[in-house]
Amino acid sequence: MTSAKKSKVIAEVDSAIERLARVLTRIDSGDYGFSEAGDWLHNCGDDIVGALESALEYVKEAA
């Protein structure tokens, strides 16, 4: 994996973690209810899965 691709994968995973952490905080604090959390997951879940898939590909290549 090239250095540029590695940097891109790291940025995608960092972004996914930050976004998910913000939403979980909002759920825990009661700012997001079940419906809002479901809407967010429906709209943004693909981004998180894509970041994890990229990371998995990188990990497999590194092994």
pLDDT digits (tens, 9 = 90+) for 20-51: 999 999 999 999 999 999 999 999 999 999 99
User: Residue 60's pLDDT is what?
Assistant: 86
User: Residue 58's pLDDT is what?
Assistant: 83
User: Residue 4's pLDDT is what?
Assistant: 87
Which of 2-11, 13-22, 32-41 is the least confident region?
A: 2-11
Q: Which of 21, 20, 13 has its CA nearest to residue 54?
A: 13
**Chain centre distance of CA 37:** 15
Burial bucket for residue 51 (CB in 10 Å: 0-12, 13-18, 19+): buried
